[in-house]
């Protein structure tokens, strides 16, 4: 190796890589991996759920209640 050639170093970790969670079972087998995208999708789903709940609540508050239609005939009870 030439003294001007640089040695191969370990890959440098990027600061913006985020996090990674690996879940292992009792027998040390990998069960699942949670990546940053999973967290963002979860938060997006929570936000969409809250928005849907607020919209649904407002629609229910300002809509007119539906009154039941009374039956025209009362059914007769049959006694044997």
Higher-scoring residue by pLDDT: 57, 16: 57
Does 36 score more than 90 pLDDT?
A: no
Higher-scoring residue by pLDDT: 16, 65: 65
3-state SS of the chain is CCCCCCCCCCCCCCCCCCCCEEEECCCCCEEEEECHHHHHHHHHHHHHHHHHHHHHHHHHHHCCCCCCCCCCCCCCCCCC
Does 5 score more than 70 pLDDT?
A: no
For residue range 39-79, list pLDDT tens digits in order: 899 999 999 999 999 999 999 888 887 788 777 777 778 87
Q: Say if pTM beats, i.e. exceeds, 0.85.
A: no
CA distance 49 to 38: 16
What the block records as the tokens of 67 is: 């009154």
Q: How confident is the model at residue 31 (pLDDT cuts 50, 70, 90)?
A: very high
């Amino acid at each position: 190796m030439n003294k001007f050639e640089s040695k191969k170093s370990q890959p440098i970790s990027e600061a913006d890589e985020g996090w990674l969670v690996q879940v292992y079972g009792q027998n040390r087998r990998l069960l699942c991996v949670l990546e940053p995208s999973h967290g963002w999708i979860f938060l997006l789903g929570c936000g969409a759920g809250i928005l849907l709940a607020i919209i649904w609540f407002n629609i229910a508050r300002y809509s007119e209640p539906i009154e039941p239609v009374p039956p025209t005939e009362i059914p007769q009870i049959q006694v044997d």
